[in-house]
Amino acid sequence: MSQPERPRSGSAMHDATVWERVGRAVLLRCPRCGARGIWRSWFKMKDHCPTCGLNFERGETSDFWIGAYLINLVVAELSAVVVAGVMWATLGSRVSFNVLWGASMALAILMPILFYPFSRDLWLAIDIHIRPSEEGD
């Protein structure tokens, strides 16, 4: 059982590099303070960080998460193309077109589901780095 993390100091939360924030996002942690437990489920993020209180709905409008959807789409489509390309390059004529197509389609369908929380956390990390949170955020 994991212990809840203690809040870090304000300067540590705001002075993190973009790579530190991305690293926290890859671990599905709060990109501002690094705390765990910001997800209710695989598809549902909490409204606020339970440790630092960061409001995860940072956009003024509902289109704030379009960046996360774009990250998710690019990763899913790139993974489908890269895997098919690597299979074709390494196996050549030993693999049929149907196998390549099937693997690509499976990845194109599964990756958006598997990568969903990572894309949202990554977008939040990028947004926090570009628009640092303010007191009371």
Alpha helices in the chain (DSSP H): 10-14, 18-26, 66-91, 97-114, 116-130
Q: Which stretch binds Zn ion (CB under 5 A): 22-30, 57-65, 71-79, 81-89?
A: 22-30
Record the tokens describing residue 105, joined without a space: 């389609």
Figure out which of the listed residues 21, 24, 25, 33 binds Zn ion, where binding follows CB under 5 A.
33
Nearer to Zn ion, 59 or 85 (CB): 59
Give me the least distance between CB of 122 and Zn ion, in Å please. 15
Give me the least distance between CB of 33 and Zn ion, in Å please. 3
Figure out which of the listed residues 52, 84, 122, 128 binds Zn ion, where binding follows CB under 5 A.
52
Cβ(71)–Cβ(77) under 8 Å? Answer: no
Cβ(35)–Cβ(5) under 8 Å? Answer: yes
Binding of Zn ion at residue 124 (CB under 5 A)? Answer: no
Q: Site size for Zn ion, by CB under 5 A?
A: 8
Q: Which helix (H) or strand (E) holds 30?
A: none
